Structure 1
Amino acid sequence: MKKTLFFLGFACLVNAQAPAGYYNSANGLTGASLKTALSNIITNGHQDKGYSGLWTGYKTTDIDKNYENDGSILDIYSENPTGTDPYKYTPGTNQCGTYSVEGNCYNREHIVPQSFFNEASPMVSDIHFIRATDGKVNGMRSNYPFGKVGTATFTSKNGSKLGNSTSSGYSGTVFEPINEFKGDVARMIFYFVTRYQSKLSTFSSGNMLGSSTYPGLQTWELNVLLAWHNQDPVSQAEINRNNASYTFQGNRNPFIDNPGYVDLIWGSQQPVTDTQAPTTVSGLTVSGTTASSISLTWNASTDNVGVTSYNVYMNGSLKTTVSSTSTTISGLSASTTYSFYIVAKDAAGNSSSNSSTVSGTTTGTVTPPTNCVNETFETIPTSSTSSYLTRTWTNGGITWTATDARTDQTISNKAITVRDGALTSSTSANGIGSLTVTTQLKFSGSNGTFNVKVNGVTVGTVPYSTTATTTTISNINTSGNVTISLVNNSASNRVAIDNLSLTCYGGTSRMANSASTLSKEGNTLQISQNPVSNQEIFVKGETESIQKAEIYNLQGKLIQTINQPFRSNRNSIKIKNLEQGIYILKLDATALKFIVK
């Protein structure tokens, strides 16, 4: 029979075993002033026990004394408050480790993901918002914010869910714990944005945090957490954990000691309305042009809660939406002038005024792509993201294999992280001129290098450190079929790899010949109507034996593949809705340039 949690009202929670006078300096304050006073209180005395110290802390902070009361780990992602738990963990003996399903092991769940603050101390080891939870569920939660789930794509054995958000103001993917622990999650996040309020402007928002000291959260997320705090009052289990955490690291969660602080800081439990628009974007400039693209950069806009995106307008129409302060607009016509302006938006949908307008002109000559291989790691497998496994995926005709690798770390976006292993390509038929790659040391460890091997022969090294670093090895100049390997020289350093590109031998690419007429074994192939129209390419020549057609953009990205494109004596290829621009049609080993107007 489960024990019933002991819920206490506001009057009883003014002091849940906090030392006498602990909160005296906050007396009589409200709003941002109260939040700052509490931040000072809980920063003083905070002792950073280190990331590995969490395992020790959990032996007193995360023990089940209120449900089964059996000394097992109290895991908010697996605890069944009204029945038998689906599995249980013994403190110190079931730590992750490798996992593939629920119940394999427990690990350290940052309720505010550590990637938001680049795994820096003391945040990375602050036990007040880092819970002992099942490894599999932790991995599924990933870096997603907390919110109300509509349609679940994953449900844990205790009912915690991952899926699309139905919370007002946000439509992305969110994670929703069971009702029993919604208030726990809210108060841990309130602790985080109070304890670290002075650092929030340097953290990533993750569609969750605000960029300013007050209120410290995105408006939509604040509304969710206020509701959860109200519907799930402080439990005896939270009080026990707060007291044990205070003993362990020397500070307390004030929103467990005195839940009334939530209302005094952020107002009543009614939804908070954000009506303030972001500032107008400044510093918009054209940073680069090619025959088919224009690159833009600008200064970040500011907002009372936080800017979530930038709408990029070209010739008066919305062209794209990005979250960073730069973008490249591709698929443009050569020797053509385009105008651009930017509008900043926040999570509540408020829009800034239009930025000033800038113009850019594409160059007049199409330059074929110089990259034989351009691997961004956007298609790496995502299951068991934090486990070290052999990972295999294919992109742009190259199959990659990463051994002893995990997929949950990032540099620019997705990255592959190699520990005691290597990243190896399948064969590329166009040789290699140079290699460029970005690396970054993750977690603990020391600076080191990867050996870069071409066909098994070391041709150079790539350094890595805690700072993301891009390195180019020039003049490799190996022709013919090549395989590339990056081998970690350390058996323990965990190093993320991102944005790896290879130029072809001699500086040419897989699409090196950009003429619209090429010869194939004495057979002249030609695009007969160029620019093409009606999304159809007509090809002259002997096409019956061609097995595969591929369409690439000028950045080398594969857009479309058609097997046996000229069966039934056809002399044309139907293509997808391509934007205006210049593309490459590859017919088996022959490449033809075509233009879409």
Structure 2
Amino acid sequence: MKHFYTLLLTLIVTTTFAQVPTGYYDSATGTGFTLKTQLKEIIDNVNDGLDTEYLHDDQGYDAMDAFIANYDIDNYYETGSNTILDPYSESPSGADPYNFTPVTQECGEYDEEGDCYNKEHVIPQSVFNRQIPMRSDAHSLLPTDGRVNGFRSNYPFGVVNNSQLVSQTGISNPTQNGSKLGNNLNSGYSAGYTGIVFEPIDEFKGDIARIYFYFATRYEDQISNWGSYAMFNGTSNTVFENTFLNILLEWHNMDPVSQKEIDRNNDIFYNHQDNRNPFIDHPEYVTLIWNPTPDNEVPSTPTNLVASNPSDNSIDLSWNASTDNIAVVSYDIYIDGVNSLNTTSTSFTVPGLSSNTEYCFTIKAKDAAGNESSFSNQACETTTDNGSSEGGVDLFFSEYIEGSGTNKALEIANFTGSNITDLSAYTLKISFNGNASWTNVYSFPSNAIINNEDVYVIANGSSTVCTSEYDDLNNSITSFNGNDAIGLFKNDVLIDILGDFNSDADYAKDITLVRKPTVSEPTTTFNIAEWDSFPQNDCTDLGDHTQTLSTIDFNIANIGIYPNPVKNILNIKLANQQETQIDIFNVLGKKVLSKTIYNSSTINTQELTSGIYIMKIKQGNASISKKLIKK
């Protein structure tokens, strides 16, 4: 029996920013310090008469203990560990030197690094004399190792001169994750200060910078009246001494906004104090305020673009990084001349391609001001035709258990026709109670694989049903209830979903769902008709999945499609009378044209703009996809 599957994937990957309420930043229309004041009015605790107004609702200093225990969990570097994400002990590229369990390892006293965690004021309390709401502002409070917090003390942040490190008892310098305390380097972008500074690891430098920019904005009307602090210059507009402004700007550019920052910003707004950090939602505000001179310099052209490692539906790209007078923030990837993808990296795997098809790629670099470089060299490659087109379009959810207590599990199936030995592109996320944001990011373990026609089961660590079928335990991604949407993402693009992202209505409370065997592909719209329902705690089918599709004599040779490239009229010739659904999608995955035919017919493409499209042709449960070029 021969199966054909849709090869369509949404061909776009962009940096995912926070889910901001409609109208939140409508009044932020200025530049320079005017913009800074406008942002202050948006995020402060005063009714400033804005059309859309949310007031900063201070929850008190003690409330931060519960916030940290619930939301500052490491779902990014060591998923499933249920440990505190501490920027002073986190090792992003390897095992952490130690971890902290929420609540039980919180403390006020410590002797050595690794004893416990407490709350650090990124802007020291002594600066604002421990006053509220500054003291309890969640945006400027982070959980950190108690000893390292004490080590940093009230010192400003800067670039440490490695030949002038400070020694203290009970702690190494650098610390176990590489943070340092010592005299400022006083060279390059950190020139102008020689005192002692604290330097976090590169992974969190942008986080620190954006906290300072938030603080300088939120408390603009108070900051000039506070005590002296090396990083501040005593003004309410610039706020920062030149040396430290240069350091913060450099850190902001070198370490872009992370998913961890995005999620925390959402958690603070939706679950704690009702205001946001504007510089996480809109990183470009930093330049508009503190460097308002227009940046008209374009980045250098990306070089040495190489297309390689083709599969039936993907091609790897790599290129040399561009340079810029400020910073390169991302790269646009053009497929056959159409701007189709965006990434912050200098390598990328292009998904969702058709088999046995040549694709040509070029790259443009972009900076924060939107300046674009010239096109890179062109690199072309042809996808293979090794039979994976006989498999499903991608991974999809195949079973869901919302059982009693913590008996919760998710099953992901692979019917792509190939073993997937690298799951680094895939993540799972939750949207709780209809909230317009995805949280609790789950990444597969580095050694995880899903063989063709096999499944992968993720369960709650306290689950007691069908435990022999579990491949991984993760309490964060299995904290769902029957009304929480769960998304399966590839390269941070949603490809399959359980539940409704925009609704808190129950769709699967206290039941088990198993994907019907006739379902061949993931979908970004949940349809309960695709699922069979079973009683609570029923996991009879957990650990394997059956897929049985209709047998149809259906291949591209039986369907004539011409001309291609097309100008206005596309001819569809069917060898036999058969209900045939034709859907045309642009490279962003949006359906732009749809038609059902029963005999040979034509489709008017006059309204389509020039570019590349994916045409999905479906008969019964079988489908294929073909690249369509519009002149």
TM-score, scaled relative to structure 2: 0.40
Q: Which has the larger radius of gyration?
A: 1
